[in-house]
């Protein structure tokens, strides 16, 4: 007969386990509640890392970090104003031209002619719109009942986010070094040089990724705008800017840009659509096999498989923001792992072979 066994669990251990579970649940709930603010913080970190090299360069000359941050902010706003001055007037002209063409598009659509005529010939879109209007009116067709409120909320949220991210980035640039030094001061003095080396490697990895990603996006947006302008596609400048923003998303950004911009190019002309599709396919190959390996290989130093896995996990956890943050986070984790492995190898080297090892023979 097998004797009965009793497992005794101390009340203190049970309370500790319950406390850990409760703390994890509270932490997850706090993250879910504040995910919008955390997203803004992540974007601010992105901008701070992108601007920090310029701030450090000016600080070495003006000596005070506050002055350096102020100079960089003024230059950044001047650059934004210059871009607006260059791009907004042609963008307004192109939008006005598109608005003037809308009646022609509607006429062709209702008559089943032109590039949009297939919508009426094959899908009878005009009859469906008339039927929807007769049944529920414009509010039912377009959802006007809640659209105005949703648009207003979105505009207010965008304005608040822009202001918040601007100030957050400013204070991160201003106080970031002090926070890092404060963290190092809490580390034991003996291991402080090691932590500082790890911190420098992580900063170099993340900062290199941010600058590299911005550079690749500028190349993508600029080249797309040139091709679209040469083909005479409307809103070439705006579409180029859109391509640059989409290209910030690793791996999938160029494909999303192809779907959007390619559709608009096909509406302009079949030839323009074909040329744009070929351009995006060729450019994506150049970006994936030349630009990204050269830039990310010197900064993040992650294999293509690691990049793909990191982006997929980041996108599944936090959407587009998660995909953006996945590669630098994976690079930072790689820096920590490599440091741990180096420290372990160094300890084994200093300890030497085991004491019972026979001279001249390899230790097991």
* Tens digit of each residue's pLDDT (9 = 90 or more) over 109-130: 676 666 666 666 666 666 666 6
Query: What is the pLDDT of the chain when averaged over all its residues?
Result: 78
Write the DSSP symbol of residue 10. Answer: -
Which range (48-57, 119-128, 313-322) has the least confidence? 119-128
Q: Is the pLDDT of residue 306 over 70?
A: yes
Mean pLDDT calculated for residue range 96-105: 67
3-state secondary structure of 3: coil
Helix, strand, coil percentages in the chain from 3-state DSSP, rounded to 5: 85, 0, 15
SS3 276: helix
What share of the chain has pLDDT > 70, as a percent?
Answer: 76
Residue 283 has pLDDT above 80, yes or no: yes
- pLDDT over 90 for what percent of the chain? 4
pLDDT at position 291 is 78
pLDDT above 70: residue 199:
yes
pLDDT reading at 195 higher than 80: yes
Q: Is pLDDT of 136 > 80? A: no
pLDDT of residue 106 exceeding 80, the answer is no
pLDDT at 279: 92
Which tokens go with 21?
């579970």
- CA-to-CA dists, residue 310 to 62, 250, 284, angstroms: 40, 10, 20
Separation of alpha carbons 172 and 170, rounded Å: 6
Give me the phi and psi of 4, to 5 degrees please: -75, 140
**Domain parsing of the chain, residue ranges:** 35-186, 190-348
Q: What angle do CA 302, 338, 324 make, to 5 degrees?
A: 35
Burial zone of 112 (CB within 10 Å; 0-12 exposed, 13-18 middle, 19+ buried): middle
Higher pLDDT, 98 or 312: 312
For 228-256, what is each residue's pLDDT tens digit? 989 888 778 778 888 888 888 776 777 88
- Burial label, 238 (beta-carbon count in 10 A; 0-12, 13-18, 19+): middle
Residue 94 in this model has a pLDDT that exceeds 70: no
Q: What is the pLDDT of residue 364?
A: 46
| Mean per-residue pLDDT, 175-179 | 82
Q: CB-based contacts of 273: which residues, under 8 Å, 6+ apart?
A: 262, 263, 265, 266, 267
Q: Flag the least confident range among 304-308, 309-313, 344-348.
A: 304-308
Q: What is the reported pLDDT for 363?
A: 46
For 169-271, list the strands marked E by DSSP.
Answer: none
- Stretch 158-184: mean pLDDT, rounded? 86
Return the pLDDT at 248.
Answer: 81
Angstrom distance (rounded) from CA 337 to CA 42: 23
Q: What is the DSSP letter of 114?
A: S
Q: Which of 70-74, 98-102, 140-144, 176-180 has the lowest mean pLDDT?
A: 140-144
DSSP letter, residue 16: H
pTM for the complete prediction? Answer: 0.63
- pLDDT reported for residue 71: 92
Tokens of 231: 């083909």
Summarize the confidence of residues 176-201 as an average pLDDT. 83
Predicted pLDDT at 129: 63
Backbone angles phi, psi at 132, to 5 degrees: -65, -40
Say what the pLDDT of residue 187 is.
Answer: 80
Question: How far apart are alpha carbons 56 and 283 in whole angstroms?
Answer: 34
Please state, in angstroms and rounded to a whole number, the distance separating the CA atoms of residues 209 and 296.
6
- Quick check: 140 and 18 in contact, CB under 8 A? no
């Amino acid at each position: 007969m097998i004797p009965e066994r009793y497992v005794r669990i101390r009340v203190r251990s049970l309370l500790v386990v319950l406390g850990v579970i409760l703390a994890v649940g509270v932490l997850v709930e706090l993250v879910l509640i504040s995910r919008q603010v955390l997203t803004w913080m992540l974007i601010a970190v992105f901008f701070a890392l992108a601007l920090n090299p310029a701030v450090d360069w000016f600080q070495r000359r003006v000596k005070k970090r506050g002055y350096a941050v102020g100079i960089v902010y003024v230059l950044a706003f001047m650059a934004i104003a210059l871009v607006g001055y260059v791009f907004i007037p042609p963008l307004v002209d192109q939008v006005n031209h598109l608005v003037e063409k809308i009646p022609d598009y509607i006429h062709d659509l209702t008559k089943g002619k032109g590039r949009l005529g297939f919508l009426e010939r094959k899908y009878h879109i005009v009859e469906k719109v008339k039927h929807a209007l007769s049944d529920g009116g414009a509010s039912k067709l377009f959802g006007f009942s809640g659209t105005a409120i949703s648009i207003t909320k979105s505009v207010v949220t965008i304005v608040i986010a822009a202001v918040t991210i601007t100030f957050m980035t400013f204070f991160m640039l201003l106080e970031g070094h002090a926070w890092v030094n404060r963290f190092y001061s809490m580390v034991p003095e003996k291991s402080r040089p090691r932590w500082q080396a790890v911190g420098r490697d992580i900063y170099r990895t993340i900062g290199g990724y941010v600058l590299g990603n911005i550079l690749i996006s500028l190349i993508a947006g600029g080249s797309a705008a040139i091709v679209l302008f040469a083909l005479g596609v409307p809103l070439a400048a705006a579409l180029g800017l859109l391509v640059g923003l989409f290209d910030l998303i690793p791996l999938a950004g160029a494909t999303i840009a192809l779907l959007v911009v390619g559709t608009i190019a096909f509406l302009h002309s079949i030839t323009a659509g074909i040329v744009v599709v070929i351009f995006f396919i060729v450019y994506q190959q150049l970006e994936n096999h030349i630009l990204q390996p050269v830039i990310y290989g010197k900064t993040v130093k992650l294999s293509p498989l690691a990049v793909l896995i990191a982006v997929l996990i980041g996108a599944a956890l936090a959407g587009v923001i998660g995909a953006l943050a996945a590669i630098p986070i994976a690079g930072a984790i790689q820096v920590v792992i490599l440091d741990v492995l180096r420290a372990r190898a160094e300890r084994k080297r200093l300890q030497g072979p085991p004491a019972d090892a026979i001279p001249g023979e390899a230790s097991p």
